[in-house]
């Protein structure tokens, strides 16, 4: 897997994959996309970058550890449900506010949670594999 | 303060208890039960007016399950015992236990235990009660297994958990039956609207037996009692709390709570009275042949529990009164005596009653407390225990129970006299103890934290005996809850020469005689070796062994360890069963061929078929994987054209990821490029694959042929934007309409990743999980 084409190609892929994943995450509520797909795309970007380069390279491009990503993701999803409880509704009843005509809700936080959990889980598997 | 916030606060105090015990002082943790006691005591005036405090919090409204709390006489008296005795126990434990790493955990478990007990007794929902009930089993597991390094302690903890949880499962079944029959899971509704219309046939019997199994396992009724005595390996504060005053009474509580409705079932009285009587007798027998103070006390607890269950079985208002009075009597003296046994153990280093003696000189305070509590246990005036015992006899007389029950009650009470004598007279005033030398020199009363709780409990036993009107109102309210009708109650210490008094005197004489000849009697009782060889405790071990053998056998049969075997089994079974079901039910629908043009609809299937053939023909792994990827991409295109872009996106990403990762894996693995399967196996695999493919085709044809039900998609299409502000239906469903499902799914994903890490490190034993690789995973390398 250490072919020069893959090596060079994947370094170009990573930033685009990340940008694409964020784009998918952001527009997910109204257009095709969402946290799950976004997380997968980001993970694919990291995977193609890290596979020819190894574990150390992956750690260098990752700002935080995969396990922490998992924890952050789950916490974000869990926390997004609290708004409903505060508003005296069922847990995970989402709250919305309009900022400059764009409706922003706690669904985005939930989606971010899904995104981070998916990414974290795949990266955990990946880094375990790369360490072997 | 509302009931739910009391429960919530008691659970919330668990981490606080941990931190306080860890960084400050365990003594301060005793404030938790003390404050809760005040919180419950605040409700006494309301409850004694036969009023109830009720609160509902919706929990799972779609299943009719709510967190309902209800405080009436019965639950209040339990709540006061749990928190009041809890305060004494927490204080005692802070002095009793050596301070080490286990201490904070211990206090946290003790707090969880207390909170679960409280939740169980004030729950007004069958399922709420069950959840708290099981939490008491779990927390007592932690407490009994306080010292996990001891095999004995681990076994006892496991035994307690297995027996009580198995009983709890039976109880769950009984509760579901009861709730379905009554049409509600609210206990108070079942009791008020359904008392009197319990089915008397097999359904009622099944409900009673199932619920009784749970109650009997928790309250250590014969033959499920062995865990209670074994749980004495736990530290004494735990024994005192769980196994004398609170947890074991939970079964008694449940039977008392449900007695207004379950007592209509004809099995009720015979079941409770026979099980209770057998329990009383076996407890008395076991207590008299025991020398270890804690185990003696544990067996007399079994006697008392048998008495309580018997009294619940007697359908008479006097029995309800006797039950609640004896409940309080027993809780007061038993918790106290357990702590005394702990103090003796602490200062002499032994709990063996055959070597202890003459401790009163060195430990006057302890001796005084022990005497007061023992007098109550023996049922002597002017202690509360006397009133309790008189009431038991009065109940037996007025309900006209059989002579056998009378005899059993007298034996049980005589046993209490003996044990009281052993603890108070023998240990403290008997001939000087064999505890000699240095141990004898440092004999002294313990610190105030250890004796203040027992003292208060013992003095309460005396005060309630002299001034029963202090607690009369509360007891009347409890008896009313048990009986289902208002019970009038006038307690007094002395009510003239009565048949009850005569019975009391007879009991005392019998008890005293047994005490005098205890040494010899005990010798005889100990010779019954079959109890140790064939008793329920041994049967428990046998049953566990048999279970292990059974699971070993079936594991060997099913879990062969071969991935190929698993795949063949699951795929083959799914395919055959589905196909057979479809053919038998005549559900197979063949499609009518119609083509609309020759566009991509036609090209795509060809592409898919071509790549499938490529997969089958490929010789190398790389080629195979890329071909599988091509099939996946083709399917994604189908999704895309079918109007499911999200699904297509996901499929694209997953395919890309798996192709890339699989290729990378294969680069590292010593895979053989040549298929090693023999021809016969290849044929079998092909057959299974073909079956699965056929099954899928059949299912797809049938699905496509069926008329499509639009109601769900219409609902989502219409309400997506107005309700959830989103136009992407898939995402709206994922993050809004069914967000809890998604939360569950990502939790599974996260757990899978964590499990992979665990497996990785356990299969790489040479890596210390605290260094190297583990650090690399959890922290960024410099």
To the nearest whole angstrom, how far is the Cα of B562 from the nearest Cα of chain A? 22
B 710-769 residues with CB < 8 A to A? 724-728, 730-732, 734-736, 739-740, 742-743, 746-747, 749-750, 752-754, 756-757, 760
Which chain B residues contact residue A51 at CB under 8 A?
Answer: 660-661, 664
Structure tokens at B126: 């069958």
**Residue whose entry in the numeric block shows the structure tokens 């210390």:** B768
**Which pLDDT does position B717 carry in this prediction?**
83
What's the CA gap between A122 and A38, in Å, rounded? Answer: 12
**Which pLDDT does position B670 carry in this prediction?**
66
Which chain A residues contact residue B724 at CB under 8 A?
Answer: 94, 107
Q: Is the pTM of this model over 0.90?
A: no
What's the CA gap between B65 and B186, in Å, rounded? Answer: 8
**In this predicted model, what pLDDT tens digit does every residue of B520-538 receive, in sequence order?**
888 787 777 776 777 778 8
Length, in residues, of chain A: 132
**In this predicted model, what pLDDT tens digit does every residue of A89-98 receive, in sequence order?**
777 788 777 7
Taken in order B474, B476, B480, B483, the sign of the CA dihedral is positive
pLDDT at B781 over 50: no
Structure tokens at B21: 């015990």
| C-beta neighbour count of B448 within 10 angstroms | 12
pLDDT-based confidence at residue B673 (cuts at 50, 70, 90): low
**Which pLDDT does position A72 carry in this prediction?**
93
Probe site for chain B from A25, A37, A39 (most B CB atoms < 10 A) = A37
Probe site for chain A from B727, B743, B751, B767 (most A CB atoms < 10 A) = B743
Taken in order B210, B216, B221, B224, the sign of the CA dihedral is positive
Please name the residues in contact with B181: beta carbons below 8 A apart, sequence gap of 6 or more: B194, B198, B199, B203, B207
What's the CA gap between B89 and B22, in Å, rounded? Answer: 18
Length, in residues, of chain B: 782
With beta carbons less than 8 A apart as the criterion, state whether B251 and B217 touch: yes
Structure tokens at B414: 């005589």
**Which pLDDT does position B704 carry in this prediction?**
77
With beta carbons less than 8 A apart as the criterion, state whether B348 and B439 touch: yes
| B65: DSSP letter | E
With beta carbons less than 8 A apart as the criterion, state whether B97 and B235 touch: yes
Whether the upstream peptide bond of residue B697 has omega within 30° of 0, thus cis, is no
Nearest CA in chain A to B758: A128
| Closest partner CB to A41 (pick from B653, B724, B726) | B653
A 96-125 residues with CB < 8 A to B? 96, 103, 105, 107, 110-111, 113-114, 117-118, 120-122, 124-125
With beta carbons less than 8 A apart as the criterion, state whether A21 and A41 touch: yes
Give the burial class of B599: count Cβ atoms within 10 A of its Cβ; 0-12 exposed, 13-18 middle, 19 or more buried. exposed
**Residue whose entry in the numeric block shows the structure tokens 């009994």:** B144
What's the Rg (C-alpha) of chain B? 33
* Residue closest to B614 by CA, chosen among B605, B626, B604: B626
**In this predicted model, what pLDDT tens digit does every residue of B712-729 receive, in sequence order?**
888 888 888 888 778 888
Which of A25-29, B276-280, B316-320 holds the top average pLDDT?
B276-280
A 59-78 residues with CB < 8 A to B? 59, 62-68, 70, 73-74, 77-78
**In this predicted model, what pLDDT tens digit does every residue of B250-287 receive, in sequence order?**
889 999 988 888 888 888 889 999 999 999 998 898 88
- Would you tell me the crossing angle of helices B249-262 and B73-96 to the nearest 10 degrees? 170
What's the CA gap between B328 and B323, in Å, rounded? Answer: 9
B 629-648 residues with CB < 8 A to A? 645-646
| Closest partner CB to A36 (pick from B650, B661, B724) | B650
With beta carbons less than 8 A apart as the criterion, state whether B279 and B306 touch: yes
With beta carbons less than 8 A apart as the criterion, state whether B236 and B210 touch: no
Beta-carbon contacts below 8 Å between A and B: 151
To the nearest whole angstrom, how far is the Cα of A86 from the nearest Cα of chain B? 15
DSSP notation for B264-329 = TSTTHHHHHHHHHHHHHHHHHHHHHT--BHHHHHHHHHHHHHHHHHHHHHS-SHHHHHHHHHHHHH
CB contact under 8 A, B649 and A51: no
To the nearest whole angstrom, how far is the Cα of B357 from the nearest Cα of chain A? 60
**Which pLDDT does position B600 carry in this prediction?**
62
With beta carbons less than 8 A apart as the criterion, state whether B47 and B481 touch: no
pLDDT at B596 over 70: no
What's the CA gap between B69 and B55, in Å, rounded? Answer: 5
Which chain A residues contact residue B736 at CB under 8 A?
Answer: 94, 107
Q: What percent of chain B has pLDDT over 70?
A: 92
Please name the residues in contact with B706: beta carbons below 8 A apart, sequence gap of 6 or more: B589
**Which pLDDT does position B774 carry in this prediction?**
47
What's the CA gap between B517 and B421, in Å, rounded? Answer: 12
To the nearest whole angstrom, how far is the Cα of B715 from the nearest Cα of chain A? 17
pLDDT at B109 over 70: yes
pLDDT-based confidence at residue B309 (cuts at 50, 70, 90): very high
| Closest partner CB to A121 (pick from B743, B750, B776) | B750
pLDDT-based confidence at residue B85 (cuts at 50, 70, 90): very high
To the nearest whole angstrom, how far is the Cα of B769 from the nearest Cα of chain A? 13
- The SS3 of residue B221 is coil
To the nearest whole angstrom, how far is the Cα of A110 from the nearest Cα of chain B? 7
Please name the residues in contact with B601: beta carbons below 8 A apart, sequence gap of 6 or more: B641
Residue of A84 and B12 predicted with greater confidence: B12
In DSSP terms, B60 is beta-bridged to: B65
The pair phi, psi for residue B68, each rounded to 5°, is -105, 135
pLDDT at B598 over 70: no
* Residue closest to B159 by CA, chosen among B206, B91, B205, B227: B227
Which chain B residues contact residue A74 at CB under 8 A?
Answer: 746-747, 750
Averaged pLDDT for residues B194-200 = 72
The pair phi, psi for residue A103, each rounded to 5°, is -80, 125
Interchain CB contact of B448 with A (< 8 Å): no
* Residue closest to B134 by CA, chosen among B146, B116, B122, B108: B116
Interchain CB contact of B60 with A (< 8 Å): no
**Residue whose entry in the numeric block shows the structure tokens 């699989």:** B662
With beta carbons less than 8 A apart as the criterion, state whether B66 and B4 touch: no
| B493: DSSP letter | S
With beta carbons less than 8 A apart as the criterion, state whether B61 and B116 touch: no
CB contact under 8 A, A37 and B653: yes
**Which pLDDT does position B780 carry in this prediction?**
42
**Which pLDDT does position B473 carry in this prediction?**
86
Q: In whole angstroms, how far apart are CA B631 and each of B598, B606, B619, B660, B699?
A: 21, 11, 17, 15, 20
- Residue B396: alpha-carbon gap to chain centroid: 34
pLDDT-based confidence at residue B438 (cuts at 50, 70, 90): very low
Q: What percent of chain B has pLDDT over 90?
A: 19
Taken in order B534, B537, B541, B547, the sign of the CA dihedral is positive
Structure tokens at A117: 């959990």
Q: In whole angstroms, how far apart are CA B430 and each of B355, B356, B439, B707?
A: 10, 8, 18, 90
* Residue closest to B120 by CA, chosen among B59, B160, B79: B79
DSSP notation for B371-416 = HHHHHHHHT-TTSHHHHHHHHHHHHHHHTT--HHHHHHHHHHHHHH
* Residue closest to B383 by CA, chosen among B355, B434, B349, B417: B417
With beta carbons less than 8 A apart as the criterion, state whether B757 and B767 touch: no
What's the CA gap between B678 and A41, in Å, rounded? Answer: 40
Averaged pLDDT for residues B229-245 = 81
**Which pLDDT does position A39 carry in this prediction?**
92
Interchain CB contact of B155 with A (< 8 Å): no
């Amino acid at each position: 897997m250490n072919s020069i084409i893959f090596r060079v190609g994947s370094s170009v892929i990573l930033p685009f994959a990340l940008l694409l994943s964020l784009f998918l995450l952001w527009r997910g509520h109204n257009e095709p996309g969402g946290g799950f797909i976004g997380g997968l795309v980001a993970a694919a970007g990291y995977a193609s970058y890290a596979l020819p380069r190894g574990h150390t390279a992956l750690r260098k491009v990752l700002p935080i550890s995969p396990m922490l990503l998992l924890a952050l993701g789950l916490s974000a999803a869990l926390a997004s449900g609290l708004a409903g409880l505060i508003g005296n509704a069922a847990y995970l009843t989402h709250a919305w506010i309009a900022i400059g005509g764009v409706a922003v809700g706690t669904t985005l936080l939930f989606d971010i949670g899904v995104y981070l959990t998916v990414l974290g889980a795949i990266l955990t598997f990946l880094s375990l594999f790369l360490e072997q | 303060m509302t009931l739910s916030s009391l429960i919530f606060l008691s659970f919330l105090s668990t981490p606080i208890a941990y931190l306080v015990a860890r960084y400050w002082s365990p003594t301060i943790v005793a404030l938790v039960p003390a404050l809760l006691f005040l919180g419950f005591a605040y409700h006494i005036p309301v409850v004694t007016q036969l009023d109830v405090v009720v609160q509902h919090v919706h929990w799972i409204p779609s299943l009719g399950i709510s967190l309902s709390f209800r405080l009436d006489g019965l639950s209040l008296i339990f709540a006061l015992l749990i928190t009041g005795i809890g305060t004494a126990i927490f204080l005692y434990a802070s002095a009793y236990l050596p301070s080490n790493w286990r201490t904070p955990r211990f206090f946290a478990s003790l707090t969880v235990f207390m909170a679960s007990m409280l939740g169980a007794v004030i729950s007004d929902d069958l399922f709420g009660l069950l959840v708290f009930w099981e939490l008491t089993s779990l927390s007592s597991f932690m407490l009994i297994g306080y010292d996990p390094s001891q095999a004995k302690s681990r076994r006892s903890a496991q035994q307690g958990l297995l027996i009580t949880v198995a009983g709890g499962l039976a109880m769950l079944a009984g509760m579901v039956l009861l709730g379905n029959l009554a049409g509600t899971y609210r206990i108070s509704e079942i009791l008020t609207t359904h008392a009197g219309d319990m089915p008397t046939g097999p359904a009622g019997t099944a409900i009673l037996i199932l619920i009784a199994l749970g109650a009997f396992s928790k309250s250590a009724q014969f033959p499920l009692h062995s865990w209670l005595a074994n749980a004495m390996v736990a530290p004494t504060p735990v024994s005192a709390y769980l196994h004398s005053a609170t947890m074991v009474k939970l079964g008694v509580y449940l039977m008392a709570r449900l007695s207004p409705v379950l007592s209509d079932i004809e099995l009720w009285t015979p079941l409770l009275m026979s099980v209770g009587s057998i329990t009383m007798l076996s407890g008395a027998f076991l207590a008299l042949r025991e020398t270890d103070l804690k185990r003696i006390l544990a067996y007399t607890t079994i006697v008392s529990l048998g008495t309580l269950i018997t009294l619940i079985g007697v359908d008479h208002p006097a029995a309800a009164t006797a039950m609640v009075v004896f409940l309080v009597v027993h809780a007061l003296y038993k918790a106290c005596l357990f702590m005394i046994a702990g103090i003796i153990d602490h200062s002499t280093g032994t709990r063996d009653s055959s070597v202890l003696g003459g401790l009163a000189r060195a430990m006057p305070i302890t001796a005084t407390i022990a005497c007061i509590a023992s007098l109550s246990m023996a049922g002597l005036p002017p202690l509360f225990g006397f009133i309790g015992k008189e009431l038991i006899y009065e109940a037996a007389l007025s309900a006209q129970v059989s002579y056998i029950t009378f005899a059993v009650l007298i034996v049980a009470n005589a046993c209490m006299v003996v044990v009281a004598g052993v603890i108070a007279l023998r240990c403290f005033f008997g001939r000087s103890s064999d505890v000699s030398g240095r141990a004898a020199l440092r004999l002294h009363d313990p610190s105030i934290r250890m004796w203040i709780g027992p003292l208060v409990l013992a003095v309460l036993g005396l005060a309630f005996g002299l001034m029963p009107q202090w607690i009369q109102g509360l007891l009347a309210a409890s008896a009313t809850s048990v009986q289902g009708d208002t019970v009038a109650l006038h307690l007094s210490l002395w009510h003239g020469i009565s048949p009850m008094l005569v019975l009391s005197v007879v009991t005392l004489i019998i008890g005293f005689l047994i005490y005098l000849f205890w040494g010899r009697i005990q010798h005889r009782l100990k010779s019954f070796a079959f109890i140790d060889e064939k008793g329920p405790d041994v049967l428990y071990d046998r049953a566990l062994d048999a279970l292990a053998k059974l699971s070993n056998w079936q594991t060997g049969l099913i879990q062969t360890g071969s991935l190929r075997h698993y795949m063949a089994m699951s795929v083959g079974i799914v395919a055959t069963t589905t196909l057979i079901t479809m053919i038998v039910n005549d559900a197979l629908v063949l499609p009518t061929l119609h083509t609309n043009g020759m566009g991509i609809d036609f090209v795509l299937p060809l592409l898919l078929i071509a790549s499938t053939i490529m997969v089958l023909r490929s010789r190398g792994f790389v080629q195979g994987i890329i071909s599988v990827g091509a099939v996946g991409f083709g399917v994604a295109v189908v999704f895309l054209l079918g109007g499911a872009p999200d699904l297509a996106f996901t499929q694209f990403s997953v395919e890309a990821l798996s192709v890339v990762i699989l290729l990378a894996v294969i680069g590292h693995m010593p895979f053989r490029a040549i298929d090693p399967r023999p021809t016969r196996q290849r044929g079998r695999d092909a057959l299974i694959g073909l079956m699965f493919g056929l099954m899928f085709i059949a299912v797809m044809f049938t699905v496509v042929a069926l008329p499509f039900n639009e109601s769900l998609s219409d609902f989502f299409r219409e309400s997506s934007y107005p309700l959830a502000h989103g136009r992407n239906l898939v995402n709206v469903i994922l993050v809004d309409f069914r967000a809890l499902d998604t939360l569950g799914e990502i939790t599974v994903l996260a757990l899978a990743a964590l499990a992979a890490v665990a497996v990785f490190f356990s299969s790489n034993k040479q890596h210390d999980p605290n260094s190297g690789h583990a650090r690399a995973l959890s922290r960024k390398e410099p």
